[in-house]
A and B are shown apart, each in its own frame.
Chain A
Amino acid sequence: MSTIRLSAAEIAARLAAGDVSSADVTQEHLDRIAEVDGDLNAFLALDAEGALATARDVDARRAAGETLHPLAGVPIAVKDVVATEGIATTAGSKILEGWVPPYDAFLTRRLRAAGLPILGKTNMDEFAMGSSTEHSAYGPTRNPWDRDRIPGGSGGGSAAAVGAYEAPLAIGTDTGGSIRQPAAVTGTVGVKPTYGGVSRYGLIAMASSLDQAGPVTRTVLDAALLHELIGGHDPLDSTSIDAPVPPVVEAARRADVSGMRIGIVTELNGEGYQPGVRARFDEAVALLTKAGAEIVEVSCPSFAYALSTYYLVMPAEASSNLARFDAMRYGLRVAPAGVPSPSAEQVMSATREAGFGDEVKRRIIIGTYALSSGYYDAYYGSAQKVRTLIARDFEAAFGSVDVLISPTSPTTAFPLGSKLDDPMSMYLQDVATIPANLAGIPGLSLPVGVTDEDGLPVGLQVLAPAMADDRLYNVGAALERLLVEQWGGPLLSRAPELGNAATSRAASSKEGKA
C-alpha cells in the first residue's frame, strides 16, 4: 500500500518499525509528483537522485542500528526561497534562473542532518511577493481542490504539494501570511513560528524584520515535529532567539483546551469575510466552547492600520534586500538593447527591468519611495511606530486570553487571474495574517471545513504570544481532533482526485539537480 496519504508521523512510525523503507517512501512520492505535478506546477526543481541517495543512506543507517531522528527518511519539499547547496534556487524569479547556491540554509542543514530526503523546490510568488503564486516567473501553481483557482501565496507550491500528497512535509516562509494563507485555501496546516524561532540564514530575504520559515503539513502533529526539527538558536542569524524551542510536540499530543481562554479579535471577523468562511469559523468556535474553552471577544483597534503598516515596512526592506540582484556576481545579466559598450549601471538597470516581474518592481518602487529622503518619517518612520501600537494591542489582548483566533483568510481560494490587475484587493488577502508578522508572534492555520457556497476549504488561525508557540499546537491539535471526529476523516480526503491521465510531462522535464 502506498504511503503517500499517510501523515509524516505515520510514515515515521512505519519506517521505525521497518514496515517500509525510506527509498520506497521517497520513490512513491516522486511517482506521485510525476503523476500530478504536470497539472499543479507545485515544484520548480526536483532532486530525485539526491532524495533517493539520502533515503538509501537513512535505510542503511537504520539497518545498522543507528539512532536516527524521528523524521529520518520522511521526504520533504522545500520552498524555493531556501538556499539548498547543489540544487537550483530561484525564489521564483527569472533574475536567479539557474542559480545553484554554494551553501545550505540553516534549516536545510538541519533537514540534511536529520536525514530527510529533499524531493525538490516548490513554486512561489517571485521573491515571496504575492498571495496567489501567480507572480512566479515559472507559471502559477494550481489549487489541488480546483485547478482553476489559486493555491494561495506566496508559498502556494509548498501548500499544493502537501495538499496533493506530493510530499508529507514542506517548508514555507511567512512574511505576511505566506505559510498560513496558502494552508487555509488548500485545506492544509501551516505554522509561522515566533520571529527568531527559526533561523533566517539562507532564506532569500524579502523583509528581514518579518520573514520567518515554518512547517507546511497535513496534520498539526506533523507541523510540530517539523517545527521542533528546524527551530532553535543559530549564531549565524543575529535575530535568532537563544532559547530552547517551545515544547510544541508535547503540546500537539496534549491537545486539550479545557480551561483555556480563547479570544476572538473583533477587527478580524467582520466585514469583508466571505459568509462560508464565517460560518465554518463560528462552528469551530462552538466546538472549542464545547471542549471546555472560554471564548471572549477582544478588540485590537490598531489592526485597522496593519495592512498599511505592512505595505510600507515590507517593500522598504525588500527594496534594499533585492538591490543585490544586479547582474554583477550571480544570476541574470542583460545588456541594454542598442547601447554599445554599456556601463555597469546600464547593465544593472536593464537586468533588473528584464529579470523582475511586475509585483516585484511595484514593491521595490514603493519601498524606495517610503525610504527616500523627505518621505522617510511620514512613511517608514510612521509605520515603525504603528508596529509598536499593534504589538501593544497584542500585549493587552494576551493579558486576558491565552490565544487569539480568527479566520486565516477572508475568502476561499479565488480564481486564477481574478485579482492580478488589482494589487490592493490581492493585498487584502493577508489582512488577518499580517498583524502577527508585524508583532513577531507565532500563528497557525488549520482547516475547519469547506464552505457551502463554493465547497472550498476554510482556515482558522490561532495566534499566541511570542515564544508560546506550543499554545498554537495545543489548541490546533484539539480543534483538529474534534473536527476530524465530526467529519469522519481528514478534510483533504474530500478533495477531488488528481492525476489519472498522462500529466507527467512538466514534472519529468523539471529534473533540476545541478
Chain B
Amino acid sequence: MTATRTELVPFDRALETYDPVMGLEVHVELSTASKMFCGCSTVFGAEPNTQVCPTCLGMPGSLPVVNGKAVESAIRIGLALNCSIAPWSRFARKNYFYPDMPKNFQTSQYDEPIAYEGWTEVTIETDEGPKAFRVEIERAHMEEDTGKSLHVGGSTGRIHGADYSLVDYNRAGIPLIEIVTKPIVGAGKYAPQVARAYVASLRELVKALDVSDARMEQGSMRCDVNLSLMRKDAEVFGTRSETKNVNSLRSVERAVRYEVERHAGILDAGQKIVQETRHWHEDTGVTTSGREKSDAEDYRYFPEPDLVPVAPTDAWVEELRATLPEPPAARRARLQGEWGYSDLEMRDVVGAGAVDLIEATVAAGATPTAARKWWLGDLARRANDTGAPIDALGVTPVQVAEVQALVDAKRINDKLARQVFDGLVAGEGTPEEIVVARGLEVVSDDGALAAAVERAIEANPDVADKIRDGKVAAAGALIGAVMKEMRGQADAGRVRELILEKLA
C-alpha cells in the first residue's frame, strides 16, 4: 500500500464533478478438453503438475499446435458479441519474464485479433425503471493461461513477504479468450451497475454458448477494471488505473465505485493519477497499488513463428454462426411471454439464476406459476441459507414437477411438499418414495377426518356457534385445530367442507 492515504470522495459527490470512463477486460477460460497448444487435460483441481507436457512446461524443443475447438469457441464468442471475424489473424508472442509463465512469453494475439468491433446490450435498473445500455466491444482474442504459484513463508500467504514460491503448471496453457470493451462512457452514476451487468451478461453468454463454465470463484472467468475520471467539461480521458483480480459480480460493482471515489479524491486534492496496476481486495473492499507501468514494460510483441495464421473461411464462420443459441435477452423475452410473468417476476427469476431451472420444470409438466413458486420460494430460501448455488441443491427440475404433481393430485399439500424437498436434499429417493417413507400423504379417509372435525367442534363450541350463525370465516380456527391433530397430513379444503357440512 502506498504511504500516503488518499481521502475518498463519496461516490455521489464525485459524480457531480466527473464522468467515469470504464474499460473492462474479461478473461474467459474455455472449457475445452485439452489445452490451447497441447493435448494436456484442462480439468480443474487435479494434483499439481499432473497435466503437463514438454509444450506447456516450455521445455527446450517443444512446439505449440493450436486447438481447433478453441478457435471455434473464439469465433462463436465473437459472433455472439456482434463482432467481425478476421479473415486472417495471427498469434504473437508477448515477451516478459515471470516464473509462472513457462516460456517467458505468452502466446497471445496482439494487433491481429480473431474478433473485433462488436457490441452487446445490458439492462440496468435506473431511477426511471429498467434501461438498456449498449457496450461496444473492441476485440476478443485468444491466448493462454499461466501456471499458479503458491507463496510460502511470510505471514500473509501473499506474494509480498513470501520466502519462496511453488509453481504448478496444470493451468499453464489453458485456452483463454480475452474480451476487451471500448471505453464505456456516459454511464454516469450507473457505471458500477453497467459494469456488473456487462460481466453478468458475458457470463450468461459464454454459458449459453457452452464454451466456458465461467465460474468466477474458480477463476475461470476473471475481470480487470480500467477506470479513469473525466472532468465534466473536459474532452480527453483522464489517466486510468487498471484494477486486477476483480473476481465476483459484486466485486466488479464495488471496485468501480471504489476507484471512482479514490480517483476523485486524488484529483480533488490537485494531484495526478498514476497509471498503474492495482489489486482488488475482496475482504476489505479496497484496491492497492501493484506496480507502476513504466518504459520497462516493453513486451516486444512479434508474430509467433512457431504457428501459422488462422484464416477462417466465410463458410466456416457461417457454419459456426448457425450454431449460436438464441441471444440471452431474446430468450428471456420469449420465455417471459410464454410463462406470462410480469416484468418484476421475470427480473426476480433472472436474478435468482433460475431461468433454465424453470424452463426445465415447465418442460417436465409443471405450470410456470407453480415452477416459479417453488424455485423462487422454498428452494431459493434453501440456497440462500446454505450458500449453495440454486442449481446445486440436489433438487432437479423434474423432481420439482413431480412434487407439484403430488400437490395437484391432493396427495400432499404445500406444507408437506417442503418436507419432500427436505427428503430430496437429504437424498432419500424420489418424491414418491419420500412421501411413502416419511408417511407424508394427506389423510383422505373421511371417517378419520370426520372424527377429528367432531372433536374440534366439541372443543370449540363458541366457534361452532359463530359458523352456524353464518360467520364462515371463523372456520379457519377449526381447520387449524383439525390440521394440528392430523399433524398437517390432511387436505385443508376437504376439512373445511366437512366442517361446513356438519354445521350447516
**Interface residues of A, Cβ cutoff 8 Å to B:** 82-83, 89, 91, 96, 99, 101-103, 105, 200-205, 207-209, 235-239, 316-317, 319-320, 323-326, 328-330, 341, 344-345, 348, 368, 371-373, 376, 380
Q: Are A204 and B300 in contact (CB under 8 A)?
A: no
8 residue pairs, one from A and one from B, having the closest CB atoms: A323-B104, A371-B300, A208-B305, A209-B305, A204-B60, A202-B61, A83-B61, A324-B58
Does B311 touch A at the CB level, under 8 Å?
no
- Contacts A102-B54, A326-B104, A341-B163 given: A320-B302 contact, CB under 8 Å? yes
Give the nearest-CB partner of A203 in chain B.
B61
Contact residues of B with A, CB < 8 Å?
Answer: 54, 57-66, 93, 95, 97, 99, 102-105, 163, 165, 167, 298-302, 305-308
Q: Are B306 and A238 in contact (CB under 8 A)?
A: yes
List of A residues within 8 angstroms of B308 by Cβ = 238-239
- Whether A91 contacts B99 by the Cβ 8 Å rule is no
Query: CB-nearest residue of chain B relative to A237?
Result: B63
Given contact pairs A83-B60, A376-B302, a sample of 14 additional A-B residue pairs in the complex whose CB atoms are under 8 Å apart: A83-B61, A96-B60, A101-B59, A101-B61, A103-B54, A103-B59, A201-B63, A238-B64, A317-B302, A319-B300, A324-B59, A329-B59, A330-B59, A371-B301
Instruction: Give CA–CA (A82, B62) in the complex, Å.
Output: 11
Complex CA distance for A237 and B308, rounded to whole angstroms: 10
Cα separation A373 to B94 with both chains bound (whole Å) = 12
- Give chain A nearest CB distance to B57 CB in angstroms: 6
Across the interface, name the chain B residue whose C-beta is closest to A82: B61
On whether the beta carbons of B300 and A344 are closer than 8 Å, the reply is: no
User: Which of B59, B66, B308 is most buried by chain A, counting CB atoms within 10 A of its CB?
Assistant: B59
- Using CB atoms, name the residue of chain B closest to A317: B305
Once A324-B104, A373-B298, A376-B302 are accepted as A-B contacts, the answer to whether A238 and B63 lie under 8 Å apart by CB is yes
A103-B54, A324-B102, A344-B165 known; A371 and B61 CB under 8 Å? no
Write out the residue numbers on chain A whose beta carbons fall within 8 Å of the beta carbon of B61. Answer: 82-83, 101, 105, 201-205
> Could you say which of B54, B57, B60 contacts A99, with CB atoms under 8 Å apart?
B60
Q: Shortest beta-carbon distance, B315 to chain A, in Å? A: 21
In the complex formed, the residue of B with least CB distance to A93 is B60
Would you list 20 pairs from A and B whose C-beta atoms are within 8 A, ordered by A residue? Answer: A83-B60, A83-B61, A101-B59, A101-B61, A105-B61, A202-B61, A209-B305, A235-B65, A236-B63, A237-B65, A238-B307, A317-B305, A324-B60, A326-B104, A329-B59, A330-B59, A344-B165, A373-B299, A376-B300, A376-B302
B306 x A239 contact (CB < 8 A): yes
How far is it, in angstroms, between the C-alpha of A96 and the C-alpha of B61 when the chains are bound? Answer: 12
Closest to B60 in A: A204
A91 to B307, CA, bound (A): 23
Q: Known contacts being A371-B302, A372-B300, is A323 close to B105, with CB within 8 Å?
A: yes
Per the bound structure, the CA–CA distance linking A208 and B57 in Å amounts to 18
A168 to chain B, nearest CB (A): 25
A329: which B residues are within 8 A, CB to CB? 57-59, 102
Known: A103-B54, A368-B300. A348 touches B306 (CB 8 A): no
Shortest Cβ gap from B351 to chain A (Å): 44
B189: min CB distance to chain A, Å: 38
The answer to whether B300 and A373 touch across the interface, beta carbons within 8 angstroms, is yes
Contact yes or no, A328 B95, CB < 8 A: no
Determine the distance from Cα of A83 to Cα of B55 in the docked complex, in whole angstroms: 13
Contacts of B305 on A, CB cut-off 8 Å?
207-209, 317
> Complex Cα distance A89/B62, Å?
13
Q: Which of B54, B63, B104, B306 has the most CB of A within 10 A?
A: B63
Question: Considering the chains assembled together, what is the distance between the CA atoms of A316 and B105 in angstroms?
Answer: 13
In the complex, chain B residues whose CB is within 8 Å of the CB of A201 = 61-63
Contact B300 A326 (CB under 8 A): no
| Contact between chains at B302 and A316 (CB < 8 Å) | yes
Query: In the complex, what distance in Å separates the CA atom of A36 from the CA atom of B301?
Result: 47
Please give, as numbers and ranges, the residues of chain B lying within 8 Å of A348 by CB-CB distance.
Answer: 97
Instruction: Find out whether the CB atom of B93 lies under 8 angstroms from the CB atom of A320.
Output: yes
B133, chain A: closest CB distance, angstroms: 35
A329 to B58, CA, bound (A): 9
Residues of A within 8 A of B60 (CB): 83, 89, 91, 96, 99, 101, 204-205, 324-325, 330
- The answer to whether A238 touches B97, judged by C-beta atoms less than 8 angstroms apart, is no
